[in-house]
Structure formats: C-alpha cells, structure tokens
Amino acid sequence: MPQSLARNLIHLVFSTKNREPVLAEAVRLPLSAYASAVLRELDSHVIAINAWRDHVHILFTLSKNHSLAQVVMEVKRATSKWIKTQGTGFRKFHWQSGYGAFSIGQSGVEEVKTYIANQAEHHRVKSFEEEFRSFLKRYEIEFDERYVWD
C-alpha cells in the first residue's frame, strides 16, 4: 500500500500543578482555542476541548507523523507559556508533569464529546482526582496512588 492511513482518537486529560483551581472562567475559552491551534500545527485535529478550574480535557485525532508524548509535551509547553502572558496571577503557572491519554473508538466519540462539554455538571459532585481515578480504572491502567499526583 503506497499510502499510510491512520485515525487514532485520543482523550487527553491533564491538570494544573497540584490541581490548583487557577483556570478562571475568563481564560478557559481562549486557552481552549490556543491549545486547538497548537494541535492543528501538529497535524492533530481537535474534536472537543474544555478546560475546567484545574484541568483540561481534549479529544483529538493524533497525527500519524508525531508521537503522543511529543504532541502532549508541545501542547503543555505552549499553553503554559501562553497562560503566563494572561496576567500577573499566572506568572508562576505550571501544568502537572504527567497526563492521562486514553484511546477511544469511533463509536465512542459522541459520548466523549458530551462528557467533555459537561465538565461543570460533572464537577459539582466529583473532584478531578475522583474523575481521573475512574478513567484509570475504566481503561484498566494499573497505577500507584503515590505517583499519580504532583
């Protein structure tokens, strides 16, 4: 086959350092737009994105030309630099060092899009830590609680 074809759907989740709730409502939409632009530059199309007070969810198609680790590193690096330009309250901003990336099938896209869009509703009753643990369990990822958080 002379052509390489791929569609890798990734649900990416990462939080602010120590899960600090610093992502004010005014910065969330511009942050999402900026992260989408960074991903587009990496040939990775955003399907859904939403930032909450202490974390971000992104559903995107991973480029066949870049590794997941490379894409995540660049998105976090670029958005961290951008956030630091959004006012003095963000000068010491950092993302957590880790992330969660979960592959989904095409049949799961609508469910994940809805989940991402409804972050405010989910977090009325569930913390980020509880949410993230549930993803790890759902995707059967073994983890040591001592090393999940920073």
pLDDT tens by residue, 81-118: 999 999 998 999 999 999 999 999 999 999 999 999 99
Amino acid at 110: E
Q: How far is CA 81 from CA 65, 71, 75, 76, 90, in A?
A: 24, 16, 10, 9, 10
Domain enclosing residue 20, as ranges: 8-148
Q: How far is CA 73 from CA 35, 38, 42, 57, 78, in A?
A: 12, 11, 11, 15, 9
Give the CATH number, domain containing residue 14: 3.30.70.1290
Q: What is the pTM of this model?
A: 0.93
Q: Is the predicted pLDDT of residue 140 greater than 80, yes or no?
A: yes
Split into its structural domains, the chain has a count of 1
- Confidence (pLDDT) at 1: 58
Is 138 inside a domain boundary? Answer: yes
Question: Which comes out higher in pLDDT, residue 14 or 120?
Answer: 14
Is 2 inside a domain boundary? Answer: no
Is 75 inside a domain boundary? Answer: yes
